Amino acid sequence: MKASIVGLGYVGLPLACECADEGLETKGIDVDEEKLEKIKNGVCPVEDEVTERKFKDLYQEIEASKDYSNVSDSDVIVVTVPTPVSDSKEPNYDYVESAMESISENISEGTVVILESTVAPGTSNKVVRPILEQSGYEVGEDIYLAYCPERIDPGNEEWTIKNIPRVLGAYSEEGLEKAEEFYSKALEAEINTVADLKSAEASKVVENSFRDINIAFVNELAKSFDSMGIDTKEVIEAASSKPFGFMPHWPGCGVGGHCIPVDPYYLIDQAETSGFQHEFMELAREINNSMPEYTVEKLQDGLNKHGKPVNGTKIALLGLAYKGGVGDTRESPALEIRKMLEEKQAEINTFDPYVPEDSTLESIEEAVEWAECVVIATEHEEFKEIEKLGTENLALIIDGKNILDRELIETDYLGVGR
Ligand code: SAJ
């Protein structure tokens, strides 16, 4: 089987490695010359340990280029390009449309195109299918179209692209079979087929919106319990002792990454065009988007108790990545917190062991020694080191991800919801 993967990022590159590993003739397409150069030279352009390990062994099996004519003899073309939302939170399908146009100019009869990028329900049929049919082929007759939402949890060693269960829908029965045959060859993942393209598209935005609204629930609890002096983390841990009907989520200084804070807007935007307002999902987004500012307000109040204005106070920001164990800073709340502290003229230094290029300090020890106040903005395991350090020289620790055991902290400690 010959497979082409269009878009060699955090989803496409691991998939290309899996295809190569299973002996499929694998071609990669990307428009980023720098990324192609890195791949050619065996330098993994994706910051993820699991991907880096696979890439090292398999990169020479992947023919990577920007030449779309390479897809002309592919049995399967998988599209994993970005689908960002604009500042006004409107989905942007430019990359998808451009990739599909290039594919339609080179596709051969019998090929199945599988879109994995997150899109609003209805997009594959209404946007992608007409572009592919510019080839002169008819989708469902001469060529085929399927949708299989990407699922990846950066940094997760247990659930990787090889074994994460998938959802698959297609425009036609034959397209579904062809796509299912591809995934059963390339991966070892359970494939859950659904009735059509839009069911598969909707499942992706639903699973991530589920996470977003549940995080918003505990973030609202954190604000409420702060006012009542209740430790939210303790309460959620206690509620988690219920063996059914409860799924813990955790409050924090914000919700970052390329999925959770972005995906709900696809559904919100699409539903609006059909006259429905997702008030609940919109409110959840507002609550989660308010958490960086809430964290800075707690810091400001905490410093005031020590007679320290934010202005001029030495603040060490620990963590720039959007979540623990990764170096990805996309949509990271830490960056928003840094921006707010800069606007308040704090004296800031940063340290994130996973983002050395943007760190101005070399270690946690250096941060604790230099600072008057430490703000933890990412749940990196390494930051628990602080519990063992003498922190009496600090006026305040703001634990934006509630990772420290407050009993072990000798100085003033404030968490989010504790
Ligand atoms: N977060 C909280 N509280 C929580 C969980 C997460 O504040 O209880 C924050 C994190 O700190 C981070 C953001 O939300 O800033 C996103 O966290 P995440 O664990 O959801 O991490 P992601 O973005 O890598 O999510 C990926 C997603 N995968 C895809 O979209 C394909 C998501 O669907 C998965 O649920 C998630 O991995 C996972 O861990 O399962």
26 pLDDT tier (thresholds 50, 70, 90): very high
Using one digit for the tens of pLDDT, what is the confidence trace for 265-313? 999 999 999 999 999 999 999 999 999 999 999 999 999 999 999 999 9
Average pLDDT in the 153-170 region? 93
Of all atoms in ligand 1, which is nearest to the CA of residue 291?
A: 7
Using one digit for the tens of pLDDT, what is the confidence trace for 59-85? 999 999 999 999 999 999 999 999 999
Distance (Å, whole) CA 217 – CA 225: 12
Using one digit for the tens of pLDDT, what is the confidence trace for 162-219? 999 999 999 999 999 999 999 999 999 999 999 999 999 999 999 999 999 999 999 9
**Pseudo-torsion of CA 211, 351, 342, 334, nearest 10°?**
0
Task: Name the residue with the closest Cα to ligand 1, atom 19.
Answer: 323
DSSP, collapsed to helix, strand or coil, labels residue 191 as strand
Using one digit for the tens of pLDDT, what is the confidence trace for 302-334? 999 999 999 999 999 999 999 999 899 999 999
Which pLDDT value is given to residue 56?
Answer: 95
DSSP characters over 148-166: ------TT-SSS-TTTS-E
Average pLDDT in the 40-66 region? 92
Cβ–ligand 1 contact at 414 (below 6 Å): no
| Predicted TM-score (pTM) above 0.85 | yes
For residue 6, what are the CA distances in angstroms to 64, 155, 229, 305, 373?
10, 23, 51, 55, 46
Residue 105: CA atoms inside 13 Å, Cβ hemisphere, count?
A: 9
Q: What order of strands is seen across the sheet that includes strand 76-79? A: 62-65, 25-29, 2-6, 76-79, 112-115, 144-147, 166-170, 191-193
Q: Which of 41, 65, 38, 42 is nearest to 53 (CA)?
A: 42
259 assigned to active site: yes
DSSP, collapsed to helix, strand or coil, labels residue 280 as helix
Percentage of residues in the chain having pLDDT higher than 90:
94
Distance (Å, whole) CA 201 – CA 122: 7
Q: Is the per-residue pLDDT at 154 higher than 80?
A: no
Residue with tokens 């699922």: 151
Of all atoms in ligand 1, which is nearest to the CA of residue 154?
A: 24
Burial of 357 (0-12, 13-18, 19+ CB in 10 A): exposed
Tokens for 336, please give them: 């928003």
Distance (Å, whole) CA 324 – CA 399: 14
Cβ–ligand 1 contact at 9 (below 6 Å): no
Cβ–ligand 1 contact at 208 (below 6 Å): yes
Average pLDDT in the 346-359 region? 97
